[in-house]
Amino acid sequence: MKEVLVVDATRSPIGTGISKYPLLKSALITLSPQDLALQVLDASFKKTKIPPAAVDILRVGSNVSLKSEYFKQAPDREIALRAGMYNASCNISQKACSSGLLAIAEAAQAIRYEKANIAIGMGLDMMCNVPDSVNIGALTCPITKKSMAELADQKTRELGFTKEDCDVYADESYARAKKHLYEYESGEYLTPIVLEPETGTGYSRIFNFDQNVLTDEKIFKNAKDKILKGCELTTVYNSSKYGDACATLTLMSPGKAKKYKFEPLARLLAYAENSLKDPKDFPIAPVGAVLKALKIAKRSLNNIDSFWVNEAFPVSPLFFMKELGIPWDIVNPCGGAIAFGHALGATGAVLCVNAICQAIKEGKKYIVVSLCNAIGEATAAVFEII
């Protein structure tokens, strides 16, 4: 098997995923998912100097945007052609909230087993550009007919966590996200997005920060005690927010990286999935996925410098830390989706970019990214910073 090297990690800022409310409206709402993806890809190609035609594989992880009016025939191939990747074999990776991480794993498999040399794994979802019914459907379990919030709330109570536990966790997520808000752009991992000109001005605007992080003090804290329908503990404040985002990892074989004289950012050591019987168990599934991935990577929990466990709801990282004895300071060290938003199928790729960025900045060696997903599943990946 070939090694899989990460030679670039780039993402967009995260929009709010909201289309209706003026104070919450997504800054990205004037763009189509394809337009957003093209700007992120263009920024990546400019950084790496990789000719787009040299890319062998494109995998696009998406969820709700697959039902967008913007996505017609073969959106993955449309993105590739418009970006100049006309030689790339393309496909959509779909695994609910884990879609972006699955796309990266499938791109890596193409290098390991299929003789590809350059592959891009992308996460792309824009919740602001689909009807509310699509977002609600994506967040509703077809087996139990309950929302993900209701199922997570039930599991939270079964595990003995309280609303105070959830609120305290959310407070810290917001604080960490604010502290690190602009670091991704300064580290050249977040690419500013050019928006459509405002009516009558003729001037384009630049969007360069995660929108939800600066919105919470105005809006979300007012909802701290407003329990979501069907829940007893879960509120808008202490659960993940809607989001819009695109993120990519560019992967290479060692031979091709040597030819291009690249200094890789990281090595993808392992990817694993974990499935449990009951749909309400999705928040605890990352524990099994991480342990499986670590076994494949031949690493132990003690080897890992930071864990990035998606904050769909606080119960997932809270259980993860309690079950495995992991200190909070190395779990989601820059906050998570409770603060910056959960763009569903894009989030796995966003977390990979954030994790790699922060690990390089802090001189860390091994990192783990994991996401729970419907129905009762989770994924995990292990990276070694080079």
Report helix, strand or coil for 141. Answer: coil
Report helix, strand or coil for 314. Answer: coil
Instruction: Evaluate whether 171 touches 237 at the Cβ level (below 8 Å).
Output: no
Banded pLDDT at 221 (limits 50, 70, 90): confident
Q: Is 51 a member of any domain?
A: yes
Instruction: Evaluate whether 337 touches 89 at the Cβ level (below 8 Å).
Output: no
Handedness of CA 174, 318, 328, 373 (dihedral sign): negative
- Quick: pLDDT tens for 77-106: 999 999 999 999 999 999 999 999 999 999
Q: What is the CATH number of the domain that holds 36?
A: 3.40.47.10
Q: Is 15 a member of any domain?
A: yes
Banded pLDDT at 187 (limits 50, 70, 90): confident
**CA–CA gap between residue 221 and residue 216 (Å, rounded):** 6
Q: Could you tell me the residue range of the domain that residue 254 belongs to?
A: 5-141+184-259
Neighbouring residues of 349: CB distance < 8 A, sequence distance ≥ 6? 11, 61, 100, 101, 103, 104, 121, 122, 123, 246, 247, 248, 249
- Quick: pLDDT tens for 133-159: 999 999 999 999 999 999 999 999 999
Distances (CA, A) of 212 to 25, 49, 135, 320, 344: 10, 32, 18, 25, 15
Instruction: Evaluate whether 275 touches 26 at the Cβ level (below 8 Å).
Output: no
Banded pLDDT at 109 (limits 50, 70, 90): very high
Expressed in percent and rounded to 5, the helix, strand and coil fractions of the chain are 40, 25, 35
Q: Is 352 a member of any domain?
A: no
Neighbouring residues of 115: CB distance < 8 A, sequence distance ≥ 6? none
- Quick: pLDDT tens for 308-320: 999 999 999 999 9
Report helix, strand or coil for 382. Answer: strand
Instruction: Evaluate whether 243 touches 127 at the Cβ level (below 8 Å).
Output: yes
Report helix, strand or coil for 258. Answer: helix
Rounded mean pLDDT, 266-278 = 98
- The 10 Å Cβ neighbour count of residue 1 is 7
Q: What tokens were used for 74?
A: 């073969």
Please, what is the average pLDDT of the chain? Answer: 94
Q: Is 287 a member of any domain?
A: no
Whole-number pLDDT of residue 220: 73
Instruction: Evaluate whether 42 touches 83 at the Cβ level (below 8 Å).
Output: yes
Structure letter (DSSP) for residue 190: B
Count: domains in the chain: 1
Instruction: Evaluate whether 36 touches 247 at the Cβ level (below 8 Å).
Output: no
Q: Is 192 a member of any domain?
A: yes
| Listed residue (220, 17, 4, 206) closest to 112, CA to CA | 4
Q: Is 385 a member of any domain?
A: no
| Listed residue (20, 38, 37) closest to 29, CA to CA | 20
Banded pLDDT at 224 (limits 50, 70, 90): confident
Neighbouring residues of 91: CB distance < 8 A, sequence distance ≥ 6? 58, 59, 60, 76, 106
Rounded mean pLDDT, 67-76 = 93
- The 10 Å Cβ neighbour count of residue 29 is 17
Q: Is 91 a member of any domain?
A: yes
Angle between helices 315-324 and 148-158 (to 10 degrees): 30
| Listed residue (245, 227, 246, 249) closest to 236, CA to CA | 227
- Quick: pLDDT tens for 153-182: 999 999 999 999 999 999 999 999 999 888
- Quick: pLDDT tens for 194-219: 997 655 656 678 999 999 998 866 67
Rg (CA), the chain: 19
The amino acid at residue 217 is E
Rounded mean pLDDT, 19-39 = 93
pLDDT at 50 over 80: yes
Instruction: Evaluate whether 319 touches 158 at the Cβ level (below 8 Å).
Output: no
Q: Is 97 a member of any domain?
A: yes
Rounded mean pLDDT, 330-355 = 97
Q: Does the model's pTM come out above 0.85?
A: yes
pLDDT at 280 over 70: yes
